[in-house]
Amino acid sequence: MGPKQEEYAFKITVVGDGGVGKTSLIVCLTENRFSEDYKMTLGTSFAAQTVNIDDYVVTLQIWDLGGQPSFSHLRSFFYAGSKGGVVVFDLTDEKSFQNVPVWAKELFSVCGNVPIVIIGNKNDLASGRVVSRADAERVARSLGAPYIETSAKTGDKVNMAFQGISRRLLGVEEKPAMVAEGVVIPELKGKVLSFIDQRREYLLNLLGDLISARSINPPGNEKLAADVVQGELYRIGLHTETYEKESGRTNVVGLVDRGSSPTLMIVTHLDVVPAGDGWIYEPFKATPTDGRIAGRGAVDDKGPMASVLLALQALKAFNFPIRGRLMFVAVADEETGNELGIKYLLNEKGLTADYALVAEQTRCESIEIAEKGRLWVKLKSAGIQAHGSMPGKGVNAIVNLSKVLSRIEKLKMKYSEHPLFNAPTVNVGTVKGGVAVNIVPASAEAIVDIRFLPSQDPKQIVNELRELVRSVQMENPGLEVTIEPLNSDPPTEVSPEDPVVRVLEKVFNEVTKNKPKLIGIGGATVAKHCILRGIPTAVFGPGDSNEAHTANESVSVDELLKAAKIYALTILNLLS
């Protein structure tokens, strides 16, 4: 018979603006369900839940206080006797986040400086997110509280949040899963770096196997490369799972588990673009050339992937001296939209982490922490069909569309400058029109790609396009061009002060004796989707982005080894 557990009971209050999901969180915790039938809490309601913490049994008496202003005069009565609190805001509602310090102050004014936990709820609504993890963590730190992101709908981290307040009440709380700066024993660091230097041949053979796996997208067939990765992860000793939304479109997740928190996710992608023309080397065979390796995917993204796998092998040699969880993720479908890859894993399989590092090409010189937004817009011109020999009897839709397109690259958009980005860009990507050379075309269309800054809004940009069309119409009566927004992704950015960025900078300096440049890009990586799910993410790796997708794509072997060292030491520092 084991030792008797100590039992405690505490009253806590759950506060926050109306509609942030306080009641749903409590129902998820106590009844393990989510109700779509939202009912506003009037005044207060309460529930009880038993939580096991080590050798303690904690009964939480949870008071759910209405967040509407009309109940403010009643709340002080319900705060009385509370030993702690949970402050909840909605990740898709900026105002509810701004009110977090107000709620904490109201609770403290009645109960004193009791322990609290800050919850950012609704992390399942990634596309509507407006509050960054970095901003939320900053506010939580200012209030002396841990910060946890949850979803009452999916149940993500709900139990963890209430275990967190229980630990604080007991005085046995774990430190928040944020690492300001890890400490790695110099002797271990030297051994890891030496191990990587001695594995040059292993690295080249592994990269050769990856390049030979023809995971060309389209059509995909990432399983060919996934089999290589999975075999290597087995040898390294990671617990490995594969996930497919469509047959052959394989995603691989490898895991080292040394405790639940923190979790670092390193992301690579398995697919490559078609070889195309102009190769002097065999595209799907790794070819050594002047200290480099040529082949499709050498830069994007199989070279960086090989560097990460070498880093994992080095850590395995020393029995993974880490705490928390390390995930290696190799995704499908990065080159054509991510629907079968990172989006599928994040949105449908519940993949999450405290930090992420995307292994993509930055020449091992810079760290990418921001990406512009992307807006695709269709411009459609309407004309009147006629015989090609009598163009005056028709209206040429192609000619009219070209009058707009000739001005569109000079479109003046309103925006504020951003330190990490150049100006927004406009590119006419495709043009279609006409059915035969001897017919005046009655329709034509173009798809325009716009990369925009955080100070801009897609609706504003569409309105600016419409103003441009109207100005062309004033000079060309009868011209008809309509504008249809197709899809967009918002700009994303992670704070330079976030631990994943700060540690990566520190390690880069240790390995290279230089300081990396923090950059933003106009393109997009899987980092964007991680950040939109609330995961602070940095991008770093070997290879030059100017080589990606080109004929005779190649990467420096020395860069691959340097990247492996930086990946390995970054893992050790974040999870030390």
Cα–Cα dist 164/176, whole Å? 9
Cα–Cα dist 411/345, whole Å? 38
141 and 38 in a common domain: yes
Cα–Cα dist 123/530, whole Å? 11
The answer to whether residue 285 is domain-embedded is: no
The answer to whether residue 160 is domain-embedded is: yes
pLDDT at 409: 82
500 and 470 in a common domain: no
pLDDT range class, residue 1, cuts 50, 70, 90:
very low
pLDDT at 180: 40
pLDDT, mean of residues 52-63: 86
343 and 228 in a common domain: yes
DSSP letter, residue 29: H
- In terms of residue numbers, what domain contains 532? 186-211+218-276+298-367+496-543+557-574
378 and 357 in a common domain: no
Cα–Cα dist 528/146, whole Å? 25
Distances (CA, A) of 552 to 201, 288, 293, 294, 299: 22, 11, 10, 6, 10
Instruction: Give the lowest-confidence range in 181-185, 251-255, 367-371, 498-502.
Output: 181-185
What stretches of 213-295 show up as alpha helix (H) in DSSP?
223-236
What is the chain's mean pLDDT, rounded? 90
The answer to whether residue 179 is domain-embedded is: no
Name the domain count of the chain: 3
Residue at 53: amino acid letter? I
What stretches of 32-115 show up as alpha helix (H) in DSSP?
72-79, 94-98, 100-111
570 and 421 in a common domain: no
141 and 70 in a common domain: yes
| Spatial CA neighbour of 147 closest among 175, 176, 121 | 176
DSSP letter, residue 226: H
pLDDT at 559: 98
Q: Work out the percent of the chain whose per-residue pLDDT is above 70.
A: 94
Per-residue tokens: 331: 């995704």
535 and 485 in a common domain: no
Boundary-marking domain end, from 140, 170, 200: 170
141 and 63 in a common domain: yes
Distance of CA 208 to the CA centre of its chain: 29
pLDDT, mean of residues 501-519: 95
Angle between helices 200-212 and 223-236 (to 10 degrees): 150
- pLDDT tens digit string along 323-353? 889 999 999 999 998 999 999 999 899 898 9
Cα–Cα dist 233/547, whole Å? 28
CATH of residue 230's domain is 3.40.630.10
- pLDDT tens digit string along 117-174? 999 999 878 778 898 887 888 888 888 888 998 888 878 788 888 988 998 898 875 4
Cα three-residue angle 39-40-45, rounded to 5 degrees: 100
The answer to whether residue 177 is domain-embedded is: no
b/e per residue 356-373 (b: at least 16 CB within 10 A): bbbbbbbbbeebbbbbbb
pLDDT at 182: 55
The answer to whether residue 222 is domain-embedded is: yes
pLDDT at 43 over 60: no
pLDDT range class, residue 175, cuts 50, 70, 90:
very low
397 and 331 in a common domain: no
